[in-house]
Amino acid sequence: MFQIIDSPPAIYPISLEEAKAHLRVLNSDEDPYISSLIPAATRYCEQYQRRVYAQRDIIFVNDNFISPWRLPLAPVSAIKTIFVGGAALAESDFSLDGLGRVEIFSDIYTGEEVKITATCGYADIADTPTPVKQAILLLVGHLYSNREAVDDQKMAVLPFGVKELLDLEKVY
């Protein structure tokens, strides 16, 4: 089993003001609704790209660890803790390379459950790539214009460009 335990970020790559400008909304009547679209669009983009935009700690649990193991999200800037079977490893017992691969320097942990807490995301939210910000704005616009899952009159799909923009920085 593999599990990612994540919590919502404190800040998003797109502000309410940027979203309203993109939507051409001048009043504040729909601010709560638009504010709810930003996390939804951001989460979709993060999941699609397998990236984290706002820096935060994320817990990865792998019950069949094989070293080295590439963490499935990027960018990864640091490993805070690694627990194997409930026991913490010392920093000298593991390493993290530039590609997000964690290596534990002992084979005795192969096949064991490993719980890794890693700091992921851009240190500065402003470092989120421009194509990603544009994709989030397109998706916010799409969700704002299509408020129902299904409509008798039209079937709306994601606007052209969202996935194409996200593919530029996708982690495979």
CATH code for position 145: 1.10.3230.30
Whether residue 27 is found in the same domain as residue 75:
no
Is residue 4 in some structural domain?
Answer: no
Give pLDDT, residue 158: 59
Give pLDDT, residue 140: 96
Is residue 66 in some structural domain?
Answer: yes
Below-50 pLDDT ranges, the chain: none
Is residue 135 in some structural domain?
Answer: yes
Give pLDDT, residue 107: 67
Whether residue 79 is found in the same domain as residue 95:
yes
Give pLDDT, residue 161: 72
Question: Going edge to edge, which strands form the sheet with 94-96?
Answer: 69-70, 101-104, 94-96
Domain span at residue 71?
56-120
Whether residue 67 is found in the same domain as residue 98:
yes
Q: How many domains does the structure of the chain reveal?
A: 2
Give pLDDT, residue 152: 61
Whether residue 139 is found in the same domain as residue 106:
no
Whether residue 133 is found in the same domain as residue 159:
yes
Give pLDDT, residue 162: 77
